[in-house]
Amino acid sequence: MENKSTIEDNLLISYLKNEADEAQVKQVELWLASDVQNSKDFEKLKNAWQHAGAMADFEAIDVNKNWLKVKSRLAKPKAKQFFILPTIWRVAAAVVLIATFLFFGNQYLNNRVGDLQTITSAALNNEAAILPDGSKVWLKEGSSLTFPTEFSAKQREVNLIGEGLFEVTHNPEQPFIVKAKETETRVLGTSFNLNASQEGQRIDVVLITGKVRFSTQEEVVLLSPGDQVSIDEGGKLTKKENTNANYLAWKTGTLVFENTKMSQVIEDIANAYGVEFKFENSAFMNCPLTTRFENESLEYIIETIETLFDIEITLNNEEYIIKGNGC
Protein backbone atom coordinates (compact mmCIF):
# COMPACT_ATOMS: atom_id res chain seq x y z
CA MET A 1 0.00 0.00 0.00
CA GLU A 2 1.54 3.33 -1.05
CA ASN A 3 0.41 5.89 1.48
CA LYS A 4 1.95 8.34 3.94
CA SER A 5 2.30 5.35 6.22
CA THR A 6 2.26 1.64 5.46
CA ILE A 7 0.74 -1.39 7.10
CA GLU A 8 0.72 -5.10 6.37
CA ASP A 9 -2.42 -6.43 4.69
CA ASN A 10 -2.58 -9.48 6.97
CA LEU A 11 -2.74 -7.16 9.99
CA LEU A 12 -5.75 -5.38 8.48
CA ILE A 13 -7.40 -8.75 7.84
CA SER A 14 -6.79 -9.81 11.47
CA TYR A 15 -8.35 -6.52 12.56
CA LEU A 16 -11.39 -7.12 10.34
CA LYS A 17 -11.76 -10.64 11.78
CA ASN A 18 -11.63 -9.21 15.32
CA GLU A 19 -8.58 -11.41 16.02
CA ALA A 20 -5.99 -8.65 16.48
CA ASP A 21 -4.47 -8.25 19.95
CA GLU A 22 -4.38 -4.88 21.72
CA ALA A 23 -0.99 -3.93 20.28
CA GLN A 24 -2.14 -4.76 16.76
CA VAL A 25 -5.42 -2.89 17.24
CA LYS A 26 -3.44 0.15 18.40
CA GLN A 27 -1.18 -0.13 15.35
CA VAL A 28 -4.17 -0.21 12.99
CA GLU A 29 -5.88 2.69 14.77
CA LEU A 30 -2.72 4.79 14.56
CA TRP A 31 -2.43 3.98 10.86
CA LEU A 32 -6.08 4.93 10.31
CA ALA A 33 -5.56 8.21 12.15
CA SER A 34 -2.35 9.09 10.32
CA ASP A 35 -4.00 9.89 7.00
CA VAL A 36 -7.58 10.39 5.80
CA GLN A 37 -6.86 8.31 2.72
CA ASN A 38 -5.93 5.36 4.95
CA SER A 39 -9.43 5.42 6.48
CA LYS A 40 -11.02 5.60 3.04
CA ASP A 41 -8.91 2.69 1.75
CA PHE A 42 -9.70 0.63 4.84
CA GLU A 43 -13.44 1.25 4.51
CA LYS A 44 -13.38 0.06 0.90
CA LEU A 45 -11.36 -3.03 1.86
CA LYS A 46 -13.83 -3.76 4.66
CA ASN A 47 -16.75 -3.53 2.26
CA ALA A 48 -14.97 -5.79 -0.21
CA TRP A 49 -14.19 -8.32 2.50
CA GLN A 50 -17.78 -8.33 3.79
CA HIS A 51 -19.16 -8.87 0.31
CA ALA A 52 -16.74 -11.73 -0.25
CA GLY A 53 -18.66 -13.79 2.30
CA ALA A 54 -17.09 -16.57 4.35
CA MET A 55 -13.67 -15.85 5.79
CA ALA A 56 -12.63 -19.45 5.24
CA ASP A 57 -12.90 -18.93 1.51
CA PHE A 58 -11.01 -15.68 1.77
CA GLU A 59 -8.15 -17.39 3.57
CA ALA A 60 -8.14 -20.16 0.98
CA ILE A 61 -7.49 -17.68 -1.83
CA ASP A 62 -3.91 -17.35 -3.08
CA VAL A 63 -4.22 -13.65 -3.90
CA ASN A 64 -1.12 -13.37 -6.08
CA LYS A 65 -1.97 -16.52 -8.03
CA ASN A 66 -5.64 -15.76 -8.50
CA TRP A 67 -5.00 -12.11 -9.33
CA LEU A 68 -3.58 -13.36 -12.63
CA LYS A 69 -6.85 -15.21 -13.25
CA VAL A 70 -8.82 -12.10 -12.44
CA LYS A 71 -6.74 -9.99 -14.83
CA SER A 72 -7.30 -12.51 -17.61
CA ARG A 73 -11.03 -11.84 -17.32
CA LEU A 74 -10.53 -8.10 -17.72
CA ALA A 75 -10.37 -6.36 -21.09
CA LYS A 76 -6.81 -5.95 -22.34
CA PRO A 77 -5.62 -2.33 -22.07
CA LYS A 78 -4.77 -0.33 -25.15
CA ALA A 79 -1.16 -0.11 -26.27
CA LYS A 80 1.15 1.96 -24.05
CA GLN A 81 -1.52 2.06 -21.32
CA PHE A 82 -0.99 0.18 -18.08
CA PHE A 83 -1.80 0.36 -14.41
CA ILE A 84 -0.52 -1.27 -11.22
CA LEU A 85 -2.93 -1.60 -8.31
CA PRO A 86 -1.54 -1.33 -4.76
CA THR A 87 -1.46 -4.63 -2.86
CA ILE A 88 -4.55 -3.81 -0.81
CA TRP A 89 -6.59 -3.21 -3.94
CA ARG A 90 -5.33 -6.42 -5.58
CA VAL A 91 -6.56 -8.14 -2.43
CA ALA A 92 -9.91 -6.35 -2.51
CA ALA A 93 -10.48 -6.92 -6.22
CA ALA A 94 -9.43 -10.54 -5.97
CA VAL A 95 -11.80 -11.11 -3.08
CA VAL A 96 -14.79 -9.63 -4.88
CA LEU A 97 -14.19 -11.10 -8.31
CA ILE A 98 -12.99 -14.52 -7.21
CA ALA A 99 -15.85 -14.77 -4.73
CA THR A 100 -18.20 -13.99 -7.61
CA PHE A 101 -16.63 -16.33 -10.16
CA LEU A 102 -15.59 -19.27 -7.98
CA PHE A 103 -17.56 -19.28 -4.74
CA PHE A 104 -20.99 -17.80 -5.44
CA GLY A 105 -22.99 -21.01 -5.08
CA ASN A 106 -21.20 -22.08 -1.92
CA GLN A 107 -21.55 -18.64 -0.33
CA TYR A 108 -25.29 -18.61 -0.97
CA LEU A 109 -25.69 -21.85 0.95
CA ASN A 110 -23.35 -20.88 3.79
CA ASN A 111 -24.67 -17.34 4.35
CA ARG A 112 -28.37 -17.84 3.75
CA VAL A 113 -30.41 -16.26 6.55
CA GLY A 114 -34.03 -16.22 7.58
CA ASP A 115 -36.59 -13.56 6.84
CA LEU A 116 -36.14 -10.21 8.55
CA GLN A 117 -38.43 -9.28 11.39
CA THR A 118 -38.86 -6.06 13.35
CA ILE A 119 -39.83 -5.90 16.99
CA THR A 120 -40.81 -2.74 18.87
CA SER A 121 -40.62 -1.66 22.49
CA ALA A 122 -44.44 -1.66 22.66
CA ALA A 123 -44.54 -5.34 21.72
CA LEU A 124 -41.96 -6.24 24.36
CA ASN A 125 -43.76 -4.51 27.24
CA ASN A 126 -40.49 -3.93 29.15
CA GLU A 127 -39.39 -7.54 28.60
CA ALA A 128 -36.22 -8.59 26.77
CA ALA A 129 -36.28 -9.68 23.16
CA ILE A 130 -34.55 -13.04 22.76
CA LEU A 131 -32.62 -13.20 19.49
CA PRO A 132 -31.94 -16.42 17.51
CA ASP A 133 -28.51 -16.83 19.17
CA GLY A 134 -29.87 -16.34 22.69
CA SER A 135 -28.71 -12.73 23.02
CA LYS A 136 -31.07 -10.40 24.91
CA VAL A 137 -32.11 -6.88 23.99
CA TRP A 138 -34.21 -4.43 26.01
CA LEU A 139 -35.66 -1.57 23.98
CA LYS A 140 -36.46 1.87 25.28
CA GLU A 141 -39.94 3.22 24.56
CA GLY A 142 -40.30 4.21 20.91
CA SER A 143 -37.38 2.05 19.77
CA SER A 144 -37.27 -0.88 17.36
CA LEU A 145 -34.89 -3.67 16.35
CA THR A 146 -34.70 -5.49 13.01
CA PHE A 147 -32.99 -8.89 12.77
CA PRO A 148 -33.23 -12.15 10.77
CA THR A 149 -35.14 -15.17 12.03
CA GLU A 150 -31.85 -17.05 11.59
CA PHE A 151 -28.38 -15.51 11.68
CA SER A 152 -25.81 -16.31 9.00
CA ALA A 153 -23.00 -18.70 9.82
CA LYS A 154 -20.41 -15.94 9.82
CA GLN A 155 -21.94 -13.01 11.70
CA ARG A 156 -24.98 -11.79 13.63
CA GLU A 157 -26.21 -8.47 12.31
CA VAL A 158 -29.10 -6.38 13.65
CA ASN A 159 -30.35 -2.84 13.02
CA LEU A 160 -31.38 -0.52 15.86
CA ILE A 161 -33.56 2.57 15.78
CA GLY A 162 -33.72 4.40 19.11
CA GLU A 163 -32.06 3.03 22.25
CA GLY A 164 -31.40 -0.48 23.50
CA LEU A 165 -29.51 -2.46 26.13
CA PHE A 166 -27.72 -5.50 24.67
CA GLU A 167 -26.52 -8.66 26.44
CA VAL A 168 -24.74 -10.57 23.70
CA THR A 169 -24.14 -14.32 23.80
CA HIS A 170 -20.40 -14.96 23.49
CA ASN A 171 -19.32 -16.51 20.20
CA PRO A 172 -15.86 -15.53 18.88
CA GLU A 173 -16.56 -17.31 15.58
CA GLN A 174 -19.67 -15.25 14.89
CA PRO A 175 -19.29 -11.51 15.61
CA PHE A 176 -22.39 -9.60 16.71
CA ILE A 177 -22.89 -6.35 14.78
CA VAL A 178 -25.33 -3.55 15.59
CA LYS A 179 -26.00 -1.12 12.76
CA ALA A 180 -27.36 2.29 13.81
CA LYS A 181 -27.53 5.15 11.34
CA GLU A 182 -24.06 5.38 9.77
CA THR A 183 -22.28 3.50 12.59
CA GLU A 184 -21.35 -0.08 13.39
CA THR A 185 -20.82 -1.61 16.84
CA ARG A 186 -19.03 -4.98 16.65
CA VAL A 187 -18.74 -7.37 19.59
CA LEU A 188 -18.14 -11.05 20.34
CA GLY A 189 -19.92 -11.28 23.68
CA THR A 190 -20.57 -8.37 26.00
CA SER A 191 -23.17 -5.97 27.37
CA PHE A 192 -23.61 -2.36 26.34
CA ASN A 193 -26.18 0.40 25.92
CA LEU A 194 -26.56 2.05 22.53
CA ASN A 195 -28.58 5.22 22.02
CA ALA A 196 -29.26 6.18 18.40
CA SER A 197 -32.12 8.61 18.95
CA GLN A 198 -34.45 9.22 16.05
CA GLU A 199 -34.08 13.01 16.32
CA GLY A 200 -30.80 14.45 15.10
CA GLN A 201 -27.59 12.48 14.59
CA ARG A 202 -26.36 12.09 18.19
CA ILE A 203 -25.32 8.56 19.11
CA ASP A 204 -24.02 7.27 22.46
CA VAL A 205 -22.57 3.87 23.34
CA VAL A 206 -21.70 2.95 26.94
CA LEU A 207 -19.84 -0.33 27.45
CA ILE A 208 -20.75 -2.30 30.58
CA THR A 209 -18.73 -5.52 30.16
CA GLY A 210 -16.41 -7.02 27.54
CA LYS A 211 -15.00 -5.11 24.59
CA VAL A 212 -16.60 -3.28 21.68
CA ARG A 213 -15.26 -1.89 18.44
CA PHE A 214 -17.28 1.14 17.36
CA SER A 215 -16.82 2.55 13.87
CA THR A 216 -18.14 5.25 11.60
CA GLN A 217 -17.28 5.75 7.94
CA GLU A 218 -14.30 7.82 9.05
CA GLU A 219 -13.16 6.56 12.47
CA VAL A 220 -12.72 3.40 14.56
CA VAL A 221 -12.42 3.23 18.37
CA LEU A 222 -12.05 0.35 20.82
CA LEU A 223 -14.03 0.53 24.08
CA SER A 224 -13.29 -1.01 27.46
CA PRO A 225 -15.79 -1.37 30.34
CA GLY A 226 -16.87 2.05 31.60
CA ASP A 227 -15.99 3.80 28.35
CA GLN A 228 -18.46 5.96 26.47
CA VAL A 229 -18.23 6.99 22.84
CA SER A 230 -20.45 9.74 21.45
CA ILE A 231 -21.17 11.34 18.10
CA ASP A 232 -22.63 14.81 18.39
CA GLU A 233 -25.00 16.62 16.04
CA GLY A 234 -22.05 17.82 13.97
CA GLY A 235 -20.66 14.31 13.50
CA LYS A 236 -17.74 14.75 15.92
CA LEU A 237 -16.72 11.53 17.70
CA THR A 238 -15.43 11.58 21.29
CA LYS A 239 -14.39 8.79 23.66
CA LYS A 240 -14.34 9.26 27.42
CA GLU A 241 -15.11 7.62 30.74
CA ASN A 242 -18.85 7.43 31.43
CA THR A 243 -19.65 9.48 34.53
CA ASN A 244 -23.44 9.51 34.28
CA ALA A 245 -24.92 6.95 36.67
CA ASN A 246 -28.37 7.46 35.15
CA TYR A 247 -27.69 6.37 31.58
CA LEU A 248 -29.71 3.18 32.16
CA ALA A 249 -32.53 4.80 34.14
CA TRP A 250 -34.95 4.16 31.27
CA LYS A 251 -34.57 0.42 32.04
CA THR A 252 -33.76 0.30 35.78
CA GLY A 253 -36.25 2.97 36.84
CA THR A 254 -33.64 4.40 39.24
CA LEU A 255 -32.46 8.01 39.14
CA VAL A 256 -29.67 9.11 41.50
CA PHE A 257 -28.56 12.72 41.91
CA GLU A 258 -25.74 13.92 44.17
CA ASN A 259 -25.36 17.70 44.14
CA THR A 260 -26.23 17.53 40.44
CA LYS A 261 -26.97 20.66 38.44
CA MET A 262 -30.61 20.96 37.44
CA SER A 263 -29.65 21.08 33.75
CA GLN A 264 -28.26 17.52 34.07
CA VAL A 265 -31.15 16.42 36.32
CA ILE A 266 -33.71 17.46 33.74
CA GLU A 267 -31.71 15.91 30.89
CA ASP A 268 -31.60 12.56 32.74
CA ILE A 269 -35.33 12.69 33.54
CA ALA A 270 -36.15 13.58 29.95
CA ASN A 271 -34.06 10.66 28.66
CA ALA A 272 -35.51 8.19 31.16
CA TYR A 273 -39.14 9.06 30.45
CA GLY A 274 -38.91 10.12 26.80
CA VAL A 275 -40.24 13.66 27.33
CA GLU A 276 -39.02 17.20 26.67
CA PHE A 277 -38.44 20.09 29.07
CA LYS A 278 -37.79 23.79 28.60
CA PHE A 279 -36.38 26.23 31.16
CA GLU A 280 -38.07 29.63 31.28
CA ASN A 281 -35.35 30.93 33.59
CA SER A 282 -31.82 29.77 32.67
CA ALA A 283 -30.58 30.62 36.17
CA PHE A 284 -32.49 27.63 37.54
CA MET A 285 -30.33 25.30 35.42
CA ASN A 286 -27.45 25.65 37.91
CA CYS A 287 -29.48 24.78 41.01
CA PRO A 288 -28.11 21.62 42.69
CA LEU A 289 -30.22 18.58 43.60
CA THR A 290 -29.44 15.58 45.82
CA THR A 291 -32.07 12.89 45.90
CA ARG A 292 -32.99 9.42 44.63
CA PHE A 293 -36.05 8.19 42.73
CA GLU A 294 -36.88 4.50 42.63
CA ASN A 295 -39.44 3.46 40.00
CA GLU A 296 -41.49 6.61 40.55
CA SER A 297 -43.95 8.04 38.04
CA LEU A 298 -43.00 11.13 36.05
CA GLU A 299 -45.84 13.01 37.75
CA TYR A 300 -44.42 12.20 41.20
CA ILE A 301 -40.93 13.35 40.18
CA ILE A 302 -42.26 16.62 38.77
CA GLU A 303 -44.31 17.29 41.90
CA THR A 304 -41.26 16.60 44.08
CA ILE A 305 -39.08 19.05 42.17
CA GLU A 306 -41.84 21.68 42.27
CA THR A 307 -42.07 21.33 46.04
CA LEU A 308 -38.32 21.36 46.67
CA PHE A 309 -37.67 24.50 44.62
CA ASP A 310 -41.00 26.31 44.78
CA ILE A 311 -41.39 26.35 41.01
CA GLU A 312 -44.12 25.36 38.55
CA ILE A 313 -43.81 22.79 35.77
CA THR A 314 -46.64 22.79 33.23
CA LEU A 315 -47.29 20.71 30.12
CA ASN A 316 -47.67 22.66 26.90
CA ASN A 317 -47.92 20.92 23.51
CA GLU A 318 -46.06 17.80 24.71
CA GLU A 319 -43.31 19.91 26.29
CA TYR A 320 -42.89 20.57 30.01
CA ILE A 321 -42.23 24.23 30.79
CA ILE A 322 -40.27 24.98 33.98
CA LYS A 323 -41.32 28.33 35.46
CA GLY A 324 -39.92 30.15 38.49
CA ASN A 325 -36.67 31.30 39.98
CA GLY A 326 -35.91 28.06 41.75
CA CYS A 327 -32.97 28.30 44.15
* Architecture of the domain whose range is 249-323: 3-Layer(bab) Sandwich (3.55)
Residue 70: per-residue pLDDT: 41
Give, to the nearest 10 degrees, the angle between helix 36-52 and helix 9-16: 60
The residue-averaged pLDDT of 308-317 equals 90
Domain ranges of the chain: 9-111, 116-241, 249-323
116-241: CATH topology:
Jelly Rolls (2.60.120)
pLDDT digits (tens, 9 = 90+) for 110-127: 344 568 999 999 988 889
More confidently predicted of 122 and 18 = 122
Predicted TM-score (pTM) of this structure: 0.62
Identical fold for domains 116-241 and 249-323, yes or no, is no
Please report which confidence band the pLDDT of residue 170 belongs to, taking 50, 70 and 90 as the band edges.
very high
- Mean pLDDT for the chain overall: 78
Q: What is the pLDDT of residue 249?
A: 95
* Region 30-38 average pLDDT: 78
Lowest mean pLDDT among 6-20, 67-81, 178-192, 282-296: 67-81
Confidence of residue 69 (pLDDT cuts 50, 70, 90): very low
Mean pLDDT, range 299-309, rounded to an integer: 92
* pLDDT at residue 87 in the model: 46
Is residue 21 predicted with pLDDT exceeding 60?
A: yes
Residue 77 pLDDT > 80: no
